Amino acid sequence: MHNSPALRRYNATVLGLSLAYMGTLFGVVALFRSHPPTGPLAYLLAVLPALPLLGVFLAWGRYLRDEPDEYIRTINVRQTLIATVFMLCATTIWGFLESFGLVPHVPAYSAGVLWFAGLMLGGCLNIAAVRAGTA
């Protein structure tokens, strides 16, 4: 199993950012339910849970940059491309369906969720390609 220093750093960073995301999300939701802030503070607090997720995206980029194994880096770049294409296709199709009133509105932050789902899909496709000897 591959376990480079770059991957260990990425995993540790994502663990910390995930904990920060959960803490900020629960805290901000609780605050908005109990004592909704107003004005600029409301905007600042509403954006807070997004910041750790942005950090995860940046950590993935840093991992790709720092991964010393060219083969591992290549299949991870392919995984990233699959995730990006999946997210762009899904959001584009949903956007057109939504414009014609055929589906309900979905919050824009769902694009990040779709990208992570696409990253998992890309990982599965990478595993299949490695097992088939086509990677």
42, two tokens: 């409301």
**Percentage of the chain modeled with pLDDT above 70:** 99
pLDDT score, position 2:
82
Given a cut of 90, is residue 1 above it in pLDDT?
no
Cα–Cα–Cα angle for 71, 73, 75, nearest 5°? 70
Q: What is the CA radius of gyration of the chain?
A: 18
pLDDT in tens, 46-93: 999 999 999 999 999 999 999 999 999 999 999 999 999 999 999 999
pTM over 0.75: yes
Q: How many CB atoms lie within 10 A of CB 75?
A: 20
How many angstroms separate the first and last alpha carbons of the chain? 16
Residue found by looking up tokens 């599965």 in the block = 124
Q: Which tokens in the block code for residue 10?
A: 């990425």
Under 8 Å between Cβ of 72 and 2: yes
Q: What is the distance, to the nearest Å, from the Cα of residue 123 to the centroid of all Cα atoms in its chain? A: 14
